[in-house]
Amino acid sequence: MTSPTDKPNDGGVPLPVVPAGATSGAPAEFPPASPAGRGMFGNQGTGDVSGYGGLVRQRQPIEEASRPYGGYFDEVRDALEEAYPAFGDAIEKVVVDRGELTLHIRPERIAEVCQVMRDDLALRFELCSSVSGVDYLGADERRLHVVYLLTSMTYRRQVRLEAAVSVEAPHLPSVTAVYPTADWQEREAYDMFGIVFDGHPNLTRILMPDDWEGHPQRKDYPLGGVPVEYKGAEIQPPNERRSYQ
Amino acid sequence: MTTSNYASERETDEGRVFTVTGGDWDTIVSGTDPINDERIVVNMGPQHPSTHGVLRLILELEGETVREARSVIGYLHTGIEKNLEYRNWVQGSTFVTRMDYLAPIFNETAYALAVEKLLGITDDITERATTIRVLMMELNRISSHLVWLATTGMELGAISIMLYGFREREYILDIFETITGLRMNHAYVRPGGVAQDVPDAAIVKIREFLKMMPKKLKEYEDLLSGQPIWTERTKNVAVLDVTGCVALGITGPVLRSAGLAWDLRKTMPYCGYENYEFDVPTHPDGDVWGRYQVRLAEIRESMKLVEQALDRLRPGPVMVADRKIAWPAQLAIGVDGMGNSLEHVAKIMGQSMESLIHHFKLVTEGFRVPPGQVYVAIEAPRGELGVHAVSDGGTRPYRVHYREPSFVNLQALPAMAEGGLIADVIAGGASLDPVMGGCDR
């Protein structure tokens, strides 16, 4: 696992100090090694006299699903496989978890897959409910994930598509030509995570001011403290405060 | 677009970046030729009484006809999603409730359902807690629609309806205050159940409200429906058909006003909505008038649901039985607001060391949520309110994303406004019912 400071300064912002407990040295896993699995009080080194700082929790990894998936998931997969010739190339992984189907798609194929998902009569995912970004810092090279939630109003089904890109080349095709509703949601993902949707008609910031530097919802974005008017004191950013985890 | 009068541009390795900073009025005006160009550019907002909040609209007009409309949002961005990542799962409900401030119960319920799905305790939520959630959501839907009616009336020149709408909404806020301790931003629906039980005084108030409301609804209709100005301003205005709605991702009353009976309470039920009797009102026209009709009918349907939920309230716990998840304190409303009940404080401070440890651990550290991601969608007053929640196995959310209907629906404004009159921009925008707190989060 790499620590955030090993990354080049891609967010256009000063490099942050590593949050306490962020570098656990565990092998890459999903979800990535984060402070959540290690220690108890958020302190490291000599401050820890309890010994609990070395505590490591076992977490269930999320694994690829095997057939049959159950429910309508098999039908969706079969219909997509039949309608989309490049299926084998496009699908990286299929995950079934908590009653939800996730298809991990190769990023360059995402617009094609969406087109088939919308137009094929056996699939008919007419509505793109949600597009959001997630930054799995420390998972692997392709840490920025774009998550699409497609809804079929005809069959009353939902499927999640997920595409992962790296910070160095955060490019994937825009799905706005297929789902115009993705327009603002892709802009938000660009604004917050710096994911670039090629072919988007107007990929500009949407929530942050236009001259803002950096992408605030990336996990390595520095949080900054607040100076308070008491003898030069400062409220620390939340990731540096002592906390119970 | 190669050059733009609206924004300065520069090339970066991510492509061309436009910078719009505000205070750019002179540049915008200098880009038009006042003698030969018929088009004028009008900037509306971000502070304007008819924009439903801090929304900036840039309109290109030819005479009174809108040729291009662009909306600029983000003025109310408060970084709630980022904030959630540094608080534990339970604290999250106090943040999400502040997103769409007209529908706080919906934000909380969607969040709670997502956390419960991640924890795998969806089926353990008690009957009473679920019924209270339905009760609160439907009351909240009525209050939200009343604000819509009030503000839309005001924006179209009907000031009296504004006073009436806010007056009746205040009654609902009063009920909420009796139940949760707060008029807004309740943090009442929590992962695992609800914060505390509904007091008897609230039941009496709700019954009174149900008795009073049909008369008031009739008053609104008497005031507006036959009114020639109201019908002129709303009929055949800002039309959007089903195809347009689905392509633009528009859900809720706007989609139903175009004729598609898509309501998540019926189509993908949650919280036991499949066991309630209610109809999904639709309208064939897809105009502002249709949206007005649909919302009024939805208030009536919500009243039916409130009545059924009241009848179904059976005594019982309102939190999951699992003491590793349920909030340890028995909450009570004191003179200074909601807090730990005195009996609970006496127990942890005077009698049981283990209870104190348990309380301390759960309150400061919070419960752990197994890793994974879920998406939960509910039918909010403005449409599909979705929560995409990711856990890394820790005591805090790894990422929570809200699919806000206000945010998605506002994209339809150019489609509704372009080619119409400038006055209809107000009617069309209002009919989408955007709440900027939810839109910008």
pLDDT digits (tens, 9 = 90+) for B140-177: 999 999 999 999 988 888 888 999 999 999 999 999 99
Instruction: Beginning with the edge strand found earlier in the chain, give each strand of the sheet holding B65-72 in spatial order.
Output: B39-44, B56-62, B65-72
Distance from C-alpha of A190 to C-alpha of B300, rounded to nearest angstrom: 41
Structure tokens at A6: 């090993």
Q: What's residue B359's pLDDT?
A: 84
Give the HSE-up count for residue B418: Cα atoms under 13 Å, Cβ half-sphere: 12
Asked if B50 and B100 sit in the same domain, the reply is no
| pLDDT digits 0-9 by tens, B17-55 | 777 666 666 776 776 666 666 778 888 877 776 667 788
Helices (H), B184-287: 200-224, 228-234, 242-247, 253-257, 264-267
Same domain (yes/no): B109, B23: no
Alpha helices in A164-240 (DSSP H): 182-193
Check CB contact under 8 Å for A147 and B17: no
Identity of the residue in B371, B384, B392 whose CB atom sits nearest the CB atom of A129: B384
- Summarize pLDDT for B386-414 with one digit per residue, the tens: 999 998 888 889 899 999 999 999 999 99
Chain A residues 103-122 with a CB less than 8 Å from chain B? none
For residues A30 and A78, membership in a common domain is answered with: no
B150 contact partners, CB below 8 Å, separation of at least 6: B161, B162, B163, B164, B165, B166, B169
**pLDDT tens digit sequence for B105-139:** 999 999 999 999 999 998 889 999 999 999 999 99
Buried b (16+ CB within 10 A) or exposed e, B6-44: bbeeeeeeeeebbbbeeeeeeebeeeeeeeeeeeebebb
Cis status, amide bond into A85, omega within 30 of 0: no
Identify whether residues A41 and A79 lie together within a single domain: no
- Tell me, yes or no, whether B134 and B150 share the same domain: yes
For residue B326, being part of any structural domain is answered with no
Instruction: Say whether A229 sits in a helix, a strand or coil.
Output: coil
Strands A157-165 and A100-105: parallel
SS3 state at A51: coil
Supply the range of the domain harboring residue A31.
Answer: 1-61
- Residue A165 pLDDT greater than 70, yes or no: yes
Nearest CA to A138 among A15, A24, A10?
A24
Q: Are residues A86 and A177 in the same domain?
A: yes
Residue with tokens 């696992």: A1
Q: Is residue A188 located within the same domain as residue A119?
A: yes
When CB atoms are compared, the residue of A62, A149, A207 closest to B388 is A149
The Cα–Cα gap between B366 and B115 comes to 13
* Overall residue count recorded for chain B in this entry: 441
Please state, rounded to an integer, the average pLDDT across all residues of chain B.
Answer: 87
Q: What is the CATH number of the domain that holds A85?
A: 3.30.460.80
Q: Are residues B147 and B236 in the same domain?
A: yes
Residue type, B346: A
A15 within domain boundaries: yes
Domain check: are A42 and A121 in the same one?
A: no
B95 shares its domain with B168: yes
Percent of chain B's residues with pLDDT above 90: 43
Residues B313 and B348 in one domain: no
Q: Does B364 touch chain A (CB under 8 A)?
A: yes
**Overall domain count for chain A:** 2
DSSP letters along B258-314, please?
TT----HHHHS--TTGGGS-------SS-SHHHHHHHHHHHHHHHHHHHHHHHHH--
Domain of residue B265: give its range.
Answer: 80-321+368-440
Q: Which residues of A touch B7 (CB under 8 A)?
A: 210
Both B25 and B124 in one domain: the answer is no
pLDDT above 80 for A206 = yes
The B residues from 399 to 438 touching A (CB cutoff 8 Å) are: 399, 401, 403, 407-408, 410-411
Mutation pick from B408, B411, B436 vs chain A, by most beta carbons of A within 10 Å, is B408
Q: In total, how many domains does chain B have?
A: 3
Residue B1 domain flag: no
